[in-house]
Amino acid sequence: MNLFWILLIITIFLISSFYWGVRKNTKLAKLVAEKLEKTLKPLDQTYTWLGGSIGFAGEYKVENFKKVYVNLRLIPRQSALWLPISLILGRRDSLQLLFYLNFPVKQEFHIIKKALFMPKIYNIKKLKKIEEGDFVYFYEKDPEQRKIFEHICKELKPIFRHIALTCENHIFYIEFTGNLQNEKIWKGLERLIKEIPLLLCVIPFIFVFSFCII
């Protein structure tokens, strides 16, 4: 087989894999958008598509929140050269949700699943750290706040990558990676949306009550 045929086969493979990857990512992005709208039940929504097959950014007007911002990032299935490297490096499809709360957040808190690449935390120098099993906890004042988080996210704990409560802009943040078609994500999110405003705004009262009965 001469060089011409080798180059032709490689070219056909790269072109075919590109169109397959674009179709796959576009289909997945549309599916995630449909799942988000069904779960969040937004009054209004705006999408910004990123490069066609990379993902999208979305902003939703949702009851009981100032707004919900969503960031979907998909692995490069359209690139037969970069996809294997991306998978080797541990990259996966990622869905980030930022819930802008209607009440002030008094302290910062993070629960992160241990991984090769850990998320960046901007205020990490002022946070204390606890490692337990497959998770790392970062907290500002009260480490027991994790019990509230674990109650809120008990259905999502096996599948989320990062959960946080941040004082800046008063945001509740959650990130999922991997199989975004997993129904546990969407069922857990549906429950989460109902419980976040109630449980987070009464955290101080929960702790006062818990201390009184000890």
Residue 143: per-residue pLDDT: 64
Between CA 83 and CA 152 the distance in angstroms is: 35
Tell me which residues of the chain have a pLDDT lower than 70.
1, 52, 116, 142-155, 157, 198-214
Q: Which residues of 41-76 are buried (b: 16+ CB within 10 A; e: fewer)?
A: ebeebeeeeeeebebbebbbebeebeebbbbbbbbb
Contact 98, 69 (CB under 8 A): yes
Reported in sequence order, the residue ranges of the chain that DSSP labels E, i.e. its strands, are 44-50, 55-61, 67-73, 94-100, 109-113, 128-132, 135-139, 160-166, 171-177
What pLDDT does 57 receive? 94
107 in Cβ contact with 101 (< 8 Å): no
User: Angle formed by the axes of helices 3-40 and 183-201, to 10°?
Assistant: 40
Measured CA to CA, the distance from residue 169 to residue 22 in angstroms comes to 35
pLDDT recorded at residue 95? 95
**Gap between the Cα atoms of 114 and 83, Å rounded:** 23
Pairing of strands 109-113, 128-132: unpaired
pLDDT of residue 74: 94
| pTM greater than the 0.85 cutoff | no
For tokens 């008063």, name the residue. 170
pLDDT recorded at residue 141: 76
Q: What is the pLDDT of residue 56?
A: 94
- By C-alpha distance, which of 66, 29, 64, 68 is closest to 49? 29
Tell me what pLDDT residue 214 has.
34
pLDDT at 13: 84
Give me the pLDDT at residue 206, please. Answer: 40
| Maximum Cα–Cα distance across the chain | 82
Helix (H) or strand (E) holding 205: helix 203-213
Return the structure tokens found at 208: 């006062």
pLDDT of 96: 95
